[in-house]
Amino acid sequence: MGIYLLLSIMPMVISLMFRDGNVNGDKKRPYCIICGAFLILVLGLRSKYLGSTDTQNYYNMMDSAIKASGWKDYYDEDGVEIGFQFFVFLLSRVFHHPQWIIFISTAIYVSSMFIFCYRYSDNVRLSITMYICLEIMMFNMQGMRQSIAMSICLFAYVFAEKKKLLPFAALIIVATLIHKTAILFSVVYLLSFIKLKPLHVFAVIIGIFVFVYFSQYLMGLANNFWGKEYTEKALSGGYVALSIYILIFAFCMIASKYPLKENIDSMMLYVLLIGFVSYAERYIGVRASERISFYFTFSQLILLPNTLENGKIDEKDKIVVEMIVYALCVLLFMYRLRTSNLIPFRFFAGGI
């Protein structure tokens, strides 16, 4: 538990290395680099036995790839997506210890998330804290393959925002070759054309409910197309995540200077709506919905910090609100870890 507590307070501690604790402006880049490097080092050297069995399976895949004489000797037609197999095979030609699959994968999803926060967040300290404490990092540590696909989708978001279809589509194809569920992120491109108005928001919510409700049926069609059984299951319980979504929505509506107009980024809000509705539908028996929601939860890391920085809250009160949010994030993180299979934290034993 001590390692996780250290990670949760790391964004605040490192910010104190900078004058007045200000990590925005020209200090934003070095701050993100230092925090990211620290997180990659700790998580990248974790044991393969930490978390779900998926990590062990991918570790063994890397070991098999290292021992294989060539692609034909390694490729498993009935295995995971060919893109991920090819990714592991390429790593095995350069690195000759299976621990590298954990380290490189960690570097991919942590760096992509930090680059995204650097690009869009006006309060990177709070964004990084939320990434560590609000389940996303915990999922990344256990869902390695989907996390890599999610990382690619983060870069695809940038092109969707600029309405550049070809590079967006290319990245979605690459992400889908890593994890098939990434194809669902293609809907984000359509969001760039929808204005942020109450009626539009209502229509999007209804559309998400309908789509996710029939996702099991669509998954069945996909299974027939792919010629294999591909299902998803719920990973966690409780209503805490839903409460967090609702609180973030409420905060953005109340604290924003111009609700549903200028101060709230329309695409980010729609993306968070998809994540919220997808997660909610797990409670009506849609097994795939929680996995789907993780592709869209990243927007909460931007919406809340940006509303805090640019909203109605007075300058003198911002630090107080941030500290309250910070404390709640850390407490929630520690609470969730009590029953997590990520406890106790174990480092990799042996040289890479």
* pLDDT tens per residue, range 145-176: 999 999 999 999 999 999 999 999 999 999 99
Find tokens 């954990």 and name the residue: 102
* Confidence check: pLDDT of 224 > 60: no
For residue 350, what pLDDT is reported? 59
For residue 293, what pLDDT is reported? 82
124-133 helix and 28-44 helix, angle to the nearest 10 degrees: 20
Please give the residue that has the higher pLDDT: either 227 or 95: 95
Confidence of residue 217 (pLDDT cuts 50, 70, 90): low
Confidence of residue 36 (pLDDT cuts 50, 70, 90): very high
Cα–Cα distance measured from residue 240 to residue 332, given in angstroms and rounded to the nearest whole number: 9
For residue 97, what pLDDT is reported? 93
* Confidence check: pLDDT of 230 > 50: no
The pTM assigned to this predicted structure is 0.88
Q: Pull the structure tokens for residue 33.
A: 């680099």
Boundaries of every domain in the chain: 2-337
Confidence of residue 52 (pLDDT cuts 50, 70, 90): confident
Region at 97 (left for phi over 0; alpha for psi -120 to 50; beta for the rest): beta
For residue 284, what pLDDT is reported? 58
99-120 helix and 300-310 helix, angle to the nearest 10 degrees: 30
Confidence of residue 312 (pLDDT cuts 50, 70, 90): confident
For residue 110, what pLDDT is reported? 97
Q: Which of 55-59, 64-68, 102-106, 240-244 has the lowest mean pLDDT?
A: 240-244
DSSP-based three-state secondary structure for 173: helix
Average pLDDT rounded to a whole number, residues 249-277: 77
